[in-house]
Structure 1
Amino acid sequence: MLKKVIFTLTTATVVGLSSTLFTGVAHAETIEDLESQQSQIQEDRDAIKADLSDAESEIADVLIELEELNKEIERVDKALKENENKMDETQDKISEQEAEVEKLEEEIAELEEAIEKRYEILKERAISLQQSGGEITYLEVIFGAQDFGDFINRVQAVNKITDSDTSLIEQQEADKKEVETKQDEVVSKLDDLKEMEVEIKGMLATIEEQKSENEVKKDDLKEKEDNLVAMKNELEVEDSKLATLEKDVERSLSTATSPAPNTTVASASVGTDSKSDNNNVTRTSGSGGVSTAINAGFNHLGTPYVWGGKSPSGFDCSGFVSWAFAQGGISIPSSTSALASTGSKVSASNMQPGDIVFFDTYKTNGHVGIYLGGGQFIGAQNSTGLAVADMTSGYWADKFSGHVRSVR
């Protein structure tokens, strides 16, 4: 992954030396040295661009993985919900079956009690057939007949009574067996439901485990995405620094090869004592010029936005621009209104790293920053503090007025 990323460390070192490399007089470097530096910078930028391409490709892959994982998490959540509903239904049915079993047990107990009572009655009647005494027995009924016809009638009556008792007992036994059979069916169903409950619990535990694993994967992918995005941002910043350095080398080469160099511009680039023809621009000695101004803010990214702030403890937009150029030995105003007429006007199509760019926010030219190249600028934003932002799309593209000033 990103085999060339280590190259950015070299790049950072080169950029860190940029202010030193170009603070001396341009012709102190030989043309061969400058061309060698230019070639090295181009190689460094090519390596960074390759790393950027790799990072963007990996970010795209991670986003695809995240999308697929989110779909899988949705499926797992759906399965979890369905099984939870199934568990609720099963537990409700178990409660119903347990109540049914309890009811059948009560019915069986009542039938057994009724059969027992009936047995006692028959037992007493059977005993009374062999005993005499207080109660009229079946024999007394039969032998008390007046004639043979009456005897036959009495025998038939006694048989009906005994047959009725026998039939009642048989029916009670049949009812008991029916209830017991029904109880067996309900108990069997209850056992099946309890077995299903165990299976569903196991499924729920498995699904919960899958859900936890997916969430861990999601966190890992998100962290990977954040790291790749941070790396991409760092690479873009380094590329912007190299672009600035490359421009400085080109200007130095131009100065070294020019038969009649423009001493005003040269002195401006290296920070010698002179006055520029540009409005409100003063240069002092020993500074490093525009290159230093461009790079000055990178060590202070994240510095909070402070209204009227003009130091690394807190910047507002114009205060940062003024402070950054002061690090390069260039004195310019610290208000947006004054900066809007500082230096010379440049068309947006020709702006170069180190130019001052303006945005129409709460007013015309209400926000200001330093152009880095590649469609990016650095500035103190009231929402993020000191940061690098893209002015080719989104909010800043909408607010960019096209007003650009150069203090070279």
Structure 2
Amino acid sequence: MKQRSLIRSVCLAIGITGILGIHTYAETIEDLENRESELQNERADVQQNIEEAKTEVNQVLTELEELNQELEQLNETLEANQRTMDETEEKVDRTEDEVEQLEEEIQQIEKDIEIRREIIQERLVSYHRNGGDIAYIEVILGSKNMGQFISRSNAVKKIMDSDKQLILEQQEDKATVKKKQNKVLSKLQELQDMQTELRGMITLIEDQKVAAKEKRKSLKDKQSELLALQDELQLQDSELASMQQQVKNKIAQKESEQRSETVVLASHQSSDNNEGSSVVQASKSKSSKKQQTKSAPKANGNVSTAINAGYAHLGTPYQWGGKTTAGFDCSGFIHWAFKQAGISVPGSTAGLSSVGTKIPYSQAQPGDLVFFNTYKTNGHIGIYLGNGKFIGSQNSTGLAVADMTHGYWKSKFAGHVRRVR
């Protein structure tokens, strides 16, 4: 009996050790549940970022609509002001012509006044015997009789009154034209002031149009960036959802294994009369442990192993100089991933930028290294996955899959691709 009890105890110990040994190097259900919770939280953050990006896109669209209306109004105002400017220029031209005509009219009146004075002088001279200048009184006193005196006096008076009236009329005409000229000059000044003001308004509107167009370009660029960000976030959410499902499947598998292990333990405890069977069962459990250990994924030198190594660790935070699953920087992740495949590569972007063979992007295949000119030439690196996607450790997202066909990464990719194998 003592020997049987000892055998049974050994068998139980072997069975328990085998079961525990299986979990020594594997994740527990609690670990997986924690990982699932983390993934759910990450998805919630990503989905919130997606909604925020959508909100920003809508705000940008609203601003663009308002800006287009503003540009349309500016164009209408500019056209109206330009029409007013054209009309004002025509008025200025007509007014300048009018001022010129009035100036010529004044000059003509001044000539007429001067001619009138010469006529008066000639009339006076006609009363002088020798053609010299005499005064009107001498013409009258030169009369030979009373009749001639009266006749000459009347003639002189008529001449004086006529000449005086003519000169007065001409002076009045000159004053009238001068007044009209001043009025026209005042109108011309107003028109010229209006021209100056209109030119200033047109310049201001043109400046406003330039500023509005620049703002519209900036908003459209922002819209493109936000849409690209939405795409990247949607991709990230899909990857997280896939990872979350994988973790759920692992949890279900672990729970199934635990139920099977519980059945095995119960079988051991009820086999007091069948020690030999217990030994065989323990041996099978031990053999099963070895088989599971052998079936664990190992680096086999295949690049596909390096490609797939990172998927189980998506979301690992970015850490400068990091080369472990606790945290990666971009080159540290490459070094770690290829190490899982049994391939030794440098751990810096400088070293990786000359590893293997440089190939054109058109020939890029999954597993090739792609470089980006960020803060410096070849400042960032990732593993190409095909279809314009790559996996790498980024400052903003940590270890993640990103799209290099548009947005930020497209702008930083200069075509540098290297093949390690």
- Counterpart Cα distance in 1 of 2:86 and 2:193: 14
- Counterpart Cα distance in 2 of 1:46 and 1:225: 23
Number of the residue aligned with 1:30: 28
SS where residue 258 of structure 1 aligns? helix
- Counterpart Cα distance in 1 of 2:163 and 2:304: 129
Deviation at 1:200, TM superposition (A): 2.0
- Counterpart Cα distance in 2 of 1:44 and 1:32: 18
Number of the residue aligned with 2:59: 61
Verify the 8 A CA contact 2:125 2:131 in the aligned structure 1.
no
Q: Quick check: 221-230 or 61-70, which moved more?
A: 221-230
- Counterpart Cα distance in 2 of 1:48 and 1:199: 55
Verify the 8 A CA contact 2:67 2:212 in the aligned structure 1.
yes
Query: In structure 2, which of residues 106, 129, 133 is the aligned counterpart of residue 132 of structure 1?
Result: 129
SS where residue 197 of structure 2 aligns? helix
Verify the 8 A CA contact 1:270 1:288 in the aligned structure 2.
no
Deviation at 1:216, TM superposition (A): 3.7
The amino acid of 1:187's aligned partner reads L
Deviation at 1:85, TM superposition (A): 2.3
Q: Label 1:47 to 1:181 Cα distance change in 2 as closer, same or farther (>3 A).
A: same
Verify the 8 A CA contact 1:248 1:291 in the aligned structure 2.
no
Q: Quick check: 89-98 or 250-259, which moved more?
A: 250-259
Query: In structure 2, which of residues 179, 182, 185 is the aligned counterpart of residue 184 of structure 1?
Result: 182
Q: Label 1:270 to 1:115 Cα distance change in 2 as closer, same or farther (>3 A).
A: farther
- Counterpart Cα distance in 2 of 1:166 and 1:192: 39
The amino acid of 1:78's aligned partner reads E
The amino acid of 2:239's aligned partner reads K
The reply on whether 1:44 has 2:42 as its aligned counterpart is yes
- Counterpart Cα distance in 2 of 1:34 and 1:175: 111
The amino acid of 1:231's aligned partner reads L
- Counterpart Cα distance in 1 of 2:75 and 2:201: 13
The reply on whether 1:257 has 2:255 as its aligned counterpart is yes
Number of the residue aligned with 1:206: 204
Q: Label 1:159 to 1:55 Cα distance change in 2 as closer, same or farther (>3 A).
A: same
Q: Which one has a bigger Cα radius of gyration?
A: 2
The amino acid of 2:193's aligned partner reads E
Correspondences of 1:7-406 after superposition (within 5 Å) = 28-129=26-127, 131-133=128-130, 139=139, 143=143, 148=147, 159-258=157-256, 287=305
The amino acid of 1:94's aligned partner reads V
Q: Label 1:42 to 1:52 Cα distance change in 2 as closer, same or farther (>3 A).
A: same
The amino acid of 2:230's aligned partner reads K
Q: Per-residue CA shift, 1:344-380, capped at 9, x if unaligned?
A: xxxxxxxxxxxxxxxxxxxxxxxx999xxxxxxx999
The amino acid of 2:211's aligned partner reads E
What TM-score does the superposition give when structure 1 sets the normalisation length? 0.54
Structure 2 unpaired stretches of 5+: 1-22, 261-291, 315-329, 331-357, 369-386, 390-401, 411-421
Give the number of aligned pairs.
Answer: 291
Deviation at 1:58, TM superposition (A): 1.5
Structure 1 unpaired stretches of 5+: 1-24, 261-265, 273-283, 300-311, 325-367, 371-377, 388-408
SS where residue 74 of structure 1 aligns? helix
Q: What's the C-alpha RMSD, in Å, of the aligned pairs?
A: 5.2
Q: Per-residue CA shift, 1:223-246, capped at 9, x if unaligned?
A: 333332232222112112112212
Verify the 8 A CA contact 2:53 2:230 in the aligned structure 1.
yes
Verify the 8 A CA contact 1:320 1:379 in the aligned structure 2.
no
Q: Label 1:62 to 1:127 Cα distance change in 2 as closer, same or farther (>3 A).
A: same
Verify the 8 A CA contact 1:143 1:151 in the aligned structure 2.
yes
Q: Label 1:53 to 1:291 Cα distance change in 2 as closer, same or farther (>3 A).
A: farther
- Counterpart Cα distance in 1 of 2:65 and 2:33: 48
Report the identity percentage: 36
Deviation at 1:315, TM superposition (A): 9.5
- Counterpart Cα distance in 1 of 2:193 and 2:94: 16
Deviation at 1:185, TM superposition (A): 0.8
Deviation at 1:127, TM superposition (A): 4.1
The amino acid of 2:187's aligned partner reads K
- Counterpart Cα distance in 2 of 1:369 and 1:42: 27
Verify the 8 A CA contact 1:241 1:295 in the aligned structure 2.
no
- Counterpart Cα distance in 2 of 1:210 and 1:285: 57
What TM-score does the superposition give when structure 2 sets the normalisation length? 0.53
The amino acid of 1:113's aligned partner reads K
Verify the 8 A CA contact 1:87 1:200 in the aligned structure 2.
yes
Q: Per-residue CA shift, 1:314-348, capped at 9, x if unaligned?
A: 899xx989x99xxxxxxxxxxxxxxxxxxxxxxxx
- Counterpart Cα distance in 1 of 2:309 and 2:53: 28
Q: Label 1:285 to 1:117 Cα distance change in 2 as closer, same or farther (>3 A).
A: closer
- Counterpart Cα distance in 1 of 2:37 and 2:55: 27
